[in-house]
Amino acid sequence: MIRVVIADDEALIRTGLATILSAAGDIEVVGEAASGGAALTQARALRPDVVCMDIRMPDGDGLWATREITALAEPTPAVLVVTTFDHDEYVFGALESGACGVVLKDSPMDVLVAGVRRAARGEGLLDAPLTRRVIGEFANRRTRSAPDPGPLTVPLTPREVDCVRELCRGQSNNDIAATLYLEPSTVKTHLSNVMAKTGARGRVQLVIWAFRSGLVDS
């Protein structure tokens, strides 16, 4: 079972999300929180697989809570931001804070369920239109506001480069494997190796690094 904590300051929203996720069969809602601080407390105590996080909440907003949760020691919960805001600035903030993706509250139920499942598997929602729309601009913003990480000091093998570039196109491990004629397990190994080399905390962070480093064009 995928263990989930739902963080939203509106009780009706929490109830609705819990109903949708619990009906999926393979998802168990183990906790709820009405504030950013409570979400962090629940994440520390329960160690869920995924935290579904709203952005605007009292006592530390969702972006602050996301930063704190994704910095926890392993097993680190994945954070999927579930919000009503589709403005690029909010998506920037969520990704910058370490979220694996963003889903709108008015998305179809299957989109939310699929997002939770993918987050639990350690996959970012890189093929979601909302995530992909801003990833290049987000990378440019980070480049302007942060020192260059020195991409030339991170040696990648040709196959690692290929896998990262396909990942930046929103491809899943299976898609990358089919494109590059590799086994999915090999793709996963290549991407894990690149994450270790770059310090990326997941697939979304790895894509951000790829844009910032110039490995792919934004």
Candidates 120, 108, 113; CA nearest to 51 is 120
**15 and 118 share one domain:** yes
pLDDT at 32: 97
Complete edge-to-edge strand list for the sheet that includes strand 78-83? 27-33, 2-7, 50-53, 78-83, 101-104
Candidates 203, 209, 204, 200; CA nearest to 187 is 203
**9 and 75 share one domain:** yes
- Residue 143 belongs to some domain of the structure: no
- Residue 141 belongs to some domain of the structure: no
pLDDT at 147: 47
CATH assignment at residue 181: 1.10.10.10
Q: Which domain range does residue 110 map to?
A: 2-125
**121 and 152 share one domain:** no
Token code pair at residue 196: 């270790």
**117 and 167 share one domain:** no
What are 13-54's pLDDT values in tens digits? 999 999 999 999 999 999 999 999 999 999 999 999 999 999
**107 and 166 share one domain:** no
- Residue 18 belongs to some domain of the structure: yes
**165 and 104 share one domain:** no
pLDDT at 91: 74
**157 and 63 share one domain:** no
**203 and 115 share one domain:** no
**26 and 63 share one domain:** yes
**116 and 190 share one domain:** no
- Residue 142 belongs to some domain of the structure: no
**58 and 96 share one domain:** yes
**115 and 174 share one domain:** no
- Residue 157 belongs to some domain of the structure: yes
Count: domains in the chain: 2
End-of-domain residue from the set 72, 92, 125: 125
Low-confidence ranges of the chain (pLDDT < 50): 147, 149-152
CATH assignment at residue 22: 3.40.50.2300
